[in-house]
Amino acid sequence: MTRIAFLGLGNMGGLMAANLVKAGREVCGYDLAPPLCTAAAQSGVHVAASAGAAAHGADVVVSMLADGKDVLSLWTELLPQAVQGVLFIDCSTIDIATAREVHRKAQDACALSVDAPVSGGVAGARAGTLSFMCGGDSAAIDKARPILADMGKTIIPCGGAGLGQAAKICNNMMLAATMIVTCEAFTLAEKLGLTPQALFDVASVSSGQSWSLTSYCPVRGLTLASPANDGYKPGFMASLMLKDLKLAQEEATSAGAPTPLGALALQLYALYVASGQGASDFSGIIRMIQGASKPAA
Ligand code: NAD
Query: Residue 294: its pLDDT value, please?
Result: 56
Task: For the chain, list residues with pLDDT below 70.
Answer: 293-297
Active site (annotated) includes residue 105: no
The string over 105-139, giving b where at least 16 C-beta atoms fall within 10 Å of a residue's C-beta and e elsewhere, is bbeebebbbbbbbbbbbbebbbebebbbbbbbbee
How far is C-alpha 188 from the chain's CA centre? 31
Rounded to the nearest whole angstrom, what is the distance from the C-alpha of residue 65 to the centroid of ligand 1?
4
**Residue 193 CA neighbour count, 13 Å, CB half:** 0
Q: What is the pLDDT of residue 293?
A: 62
Please answer whether residues 165 and 115 qualify as being in contact, where contact means their C-beta atoms are separated by less than 8 angstroms: yes
165, 95 contact by CB (below 8 A): yes
Residue 123: what pLDDT?
Answer: 86
**What is the reported pLDDT for 297?**
42
Nearest CA to ligand 1 atom 19: 31
Q: Which residues lie with the beta carbon below 6 Å from any ligand 1 atom? A: 7-8, 10-13, 30-33, 36, 51, 64-66, 70, 74, 92-93, 118, 121-122, 236, 240, 243
Residue nearest to atom 8 of ligand 1 (CA): 10
Q: Which atom of ligand 1 is nearest to the CA of 236?
A: 40
Cα of 55 from ligand 1 centre, angstroms: 18
User: Can you tell me which atom of ligand 1 is nearest the CA of 14?
Assistant: 26
How do 118-119 and 130-135 pair as beta strands? antiparallel
Give me the pLDDT at residue 235, please: 87
Q: Please, what is the Cα angle at 154 between 55 and 130, to 5 degrees? A: 60
By C-alpha distance, which of 175, 182, 162 is closest to 266? 175
Task: Tell me which of 105, 168, 191, 243 is the catalytic residue.
Answer: 168
Phi, psi of 61, deg, nearest 5:
-120, 120
Give me the pLDDT at residue 249, please: 98
Mutate to test the pocket of ligand 1, among 16, 19, 31, 233 (most ligand atoms within 8 A of CB): 31
Yes or no: say if 161 and 135 are a contact pair by the CB < 8 Å rule: yes
